[in-house]
Amino acid sequence: MAKKKGRLEFLKMKEDGEKVAWVTAYDFPTAMFAEAAGMDMILVGDSLGMVVMGYSGTIPVTMDECISHCRAVRRGAPNTFIMGDMPFGSYQVSNELAVENAIRFFKEAEVDAVKLEGGRRVEERITAIAESGVLVCGHIGLTPQSSGPMGGFKAQGLTPDSATHVIEDALAVQDAGAYAVLLEAVPPELTEFLHKRLTIPVYSIGAGAPCDGQLIICGDMLGQFQAFTPKFVKKYANVAEVVTNAFKEYVDDVKQGRFPTDEHVYHVKKGCEEEYAVLLKKYTRNPPFML
Ligand code: KIV
């Protein structure tokens, strides 16, 4: 079994140019499969709101839901670096609330780090959480919790003006004390620049290859999440098709009497058959016309 990685191992990987493979997971079995596959990190993203809870976005996701999913993932992947995603409302109000909630992730769900969205506007929160002893990862570029004000799920940093915001945010996140930063949906030219410019690990989701590692949403890569698929997703499986077909086959088997068969049942203990038959006869009610 591989040793669980931590901040120092990720810094070493950065130094050596070894890429980090990172995926989201929200439940025990997916976490188990990710760990078995040799995943370096798991994010319990607030994307769980859309991928497993059926919300139309991430805003309704609560701290309690995140903690509960993080606990399941921790049980499934005890030897993998797990990051808890701070949901909307858990860090915006004050430094105190942000620290309180980061510590909840740390104590109640045993995560290794937390992530929060935003650059300059959450600088103080990042510093407060980092100073409390919890590792914090920044998340800039496209930030789904503020996709409303951003005008939807839109790539960022495509123009010099927009790139300036991303660069300023990245510098702010690093200076504030984040141990890593995730870039979402920005051009690879900007990713490459930030990878060279920053000293902390730079990870990408939809921000191209020139950085320290990649994150992908499990529901997207496995073909579970049906509502939409961003351009930056590569599909590795079609779980929706596999599961729907299995369910259809089961429905058909039940209706046609092909399931269960003899191999799926428990038989009366050998030697008890006669006594058993007598027992059932004793409890057999007479048909109504005999009453
Ligand atoms: O919640 C999540 O999965 C995320 C990714 C979109 C980066 O924050």
pLDDT per residue over 83-135, tens digit each?
999 999 999 999 999 999 999 999 999 999 999 999 999 999 999 999 999 99
State phi, psi for 182 to the nearest 5 degrees.
-105, 130
pLDDT at 288 over 90: no
Burial of 176: CB neighbours in 10 Å, binned 0-12, 13-18, 19+: buried
Amino acid at the residue 100: E
And the tokens for 36?
């078995």
Nearest atom within ligand 1 for CA of residue 217: 3
In a domain, 231, yes or no: no
Instruction: Output the residue whose Cα is nearest ligand 1's atom 4.
Output: 45
pTM of the model: 0.94
In a domain, 257, yes or no: no
Nearby residues of 240 by Cβ (< 8 Å), 6 or more positions away: 223, 224, 226
In a domain, 151, yes or no: yes
Residue with tokens 């990042």: 126
In a domain, 111, yes or no: yes
| Residue 291: predicted pLDDT | 46
In a domain, 249, yes or no: no
In a domain, 95, yes or no: yes
Q: How far is ligand 1, taken at its centre, from the CA of residue 4, in Å? A: 22
Q: Best of 146, 153, 184, 203 to mutate for ligand 1, by most ligand atoms within 8 A of CB?
A: 184
Count how many domains the chain has: 1
Domain that residue 102 falls in: 7-216
Q: What is the CATH number of the domain that holds 48?
A: 3.20.20.60
Burial of 78: CB neighbours in 10 Å, binned 0-12, 13-18, 19+: middle
Q: What is the pLDDT of residues 235-281, one digit of tens each?
A: 999 999 999 999 999 999 999 999 999 999 999 999 999 999 999 99
| Residue 151: predicted pLDDT | 83
In a domain, 170, yes or no: yes
| Residue 289: predicted pLDDT | 54
Q: Is the peptide bond before 260 cis (omega within 30 degrees of 0)?
A: yes
Answer whether 76's CB lies under 8 Å from 28's CB: yes
In a domain, 136, yes or no: yes
- Any catalytic annotation for residue 123? no
